Amino acid sequence: MTRPVTLFTGQWADLPFEEVCRLASGWGYDGLEIACWGDHFDPWAAVEDDSYVPAKLEMLKKHDLQVFAISNHLKGQAVCDDPIDERHRGILPDRIWGDGDAEGVRQRAAEEMKMTARAARRLGVDVVVGFTGSSIWKYVAMFPPASQAMVDAGYQDFADRWNPILDVFDSEGVRFAHEVHPSEIAYDYWTTVRALEAVDHREAFGLNWDPSHFVWQDLDPVGFLWDFKDRIYHVDCKDAKKQVGNGRNGRMGSHLPWADPRRGWDFVSTGHGDVPWEQCFRMLNTIGYDGPISVEWEDAGMDRLVGAPEALELVRRLAFDAPDASFDAAFNASD
């Protein structure tokens, strides 16, 4: 059950796609989780230009790389978000932003996610990783008080906006792997339960497991894998380091920039944080996950050219396969 190790290109989209291919191949990655921004992958071109996907596949082949998933977090974020504001203007292309009218942005983002499913099928992959956005994340502090009706309306909004998108995923034979992440409709254990209920547990909607978003919330990433084992459609390896305990640093980040020592937690390169990686990989074996393990590099205190190859070495060492037979099988051997 040897699983391919891939590099998520989202944090490398400032570099040309070919350069990222060259780097990843040189380090020994098996493939890429390709981001739908920069020049890395354009879903519309993939569907409308017959030469686009063959050119991407040829580039991957040239560097002895494979692709198992594409990711469109930035456009997915805009499907449900409220408010839509200057933060979104910074991450969305002009074709999605348009005149900035909030509902128009949401509708155009939804169309892009449908197109992403179609593009994934043309590329030959069956998983799209991404965010959903949320109209109720703004209520997370629960003050001013948010009624249960307001929260319920948020999950209904999610279902109303994403079910038509998931219909296209179904028709294309592609699955959406939602990354459980603060600011999304599912950001912890119980909101994941509620989000799955909102779309009636349809098969097109599953999860991208990224443990970095669990540890700073004091959630158990290993138990999460067990409880949602039938919904783990993709795995990202990113780490987080808690910096609490001094009576000053808080879990909410204090509106401080990444790598500021006053923060209560920070994203760090894989293996440098508090994620219990060996236990996680053992649980992935237990639940039978045989998809790609994708390294997502995010560390404001480490050069990515150091972090990415180092993370690959750690994953290869710890993501060992389960044994073919039980260790005590020999005890039952007949004479």
**Taking the domains of the chain in order of start, what are their residue ranges?**
5-325
In angstroms, rounded to a whole number, what is the distance separating the alpha carbons of residues 192 and 188? 6
Query: What pairing do the DSSP bridges indicate for beta strands 5-8 and 293-295?
Result: parallel
Give the pLDDT score at 321: 86
Containing 294, the helix (H) or strand (E) segment is strand 293-295
In angstroms, rounded to a whole number, what is the distance separating the alpha carbons of residues 145 and 150? 10
**Confidence check: pLDDT of 333 > 80:** no
In angstroms, rounded to a whole number, what is the distance separating the alpha carbons of residues 79 and 128? 15
Is residue 329 very low, low, confident or very high in pLDDT (cuts 50, 70, 90)?
low
C-beta neighbour count of 149 within 10 angstroms: 8
In angstroms, rounded to a whole number, what is the distance separating the alpha carbons of residues 147 and 150? 5
Contact 293, 5 (CB under 8 A): yes
* Helix runs in the chain, H state only: 17-27, 43-48, 52-62, 73-80, 86-91, 94-97, 102-123, 148-172, 189-198, 212-215, 221-227, 277-286, 304-318
**Confidence check: pLDDT of 287 > 60:** yes
Q: How many residues does the chain have?
A: 335
Percent of the chain with pLDDT over 90: 94
| pTM for the structure as a whole | 0.96
Supply the Cα-derived Rg of the chain in whole angstroms: 20
Looking at domain 5-325, its CATH superfamily turns out to be Divalent-metal-dependent TIM barrel enzymes (3.20.20.150)
What are 218-270's pLDDT values in tens digits? 999 999 999 999 999 999 999 999 999 899 999 999 999 999 999 999 999 99
- Residue in this structure with the two tokens 């009624």, named with its chain if needed: 147
Contact 211, 185 (CB under 8 A): no
In angstroms, rounded to a whole number, what is the distance separating the alpha carbons of residues 244 and 224? 23
Is residue 117 very low, low, confident or very high in pLDDT (cuts 50, 70, 90)?
very high
DSSP class of residue 199? T
In angstroms, rounded to a whole number, what is the distance separating the alpha carbons of residues 265 and 296? 17
Is residue 324 very low, low, confident or very high in pLDDT (cuts 50, 70, 90)?
confident
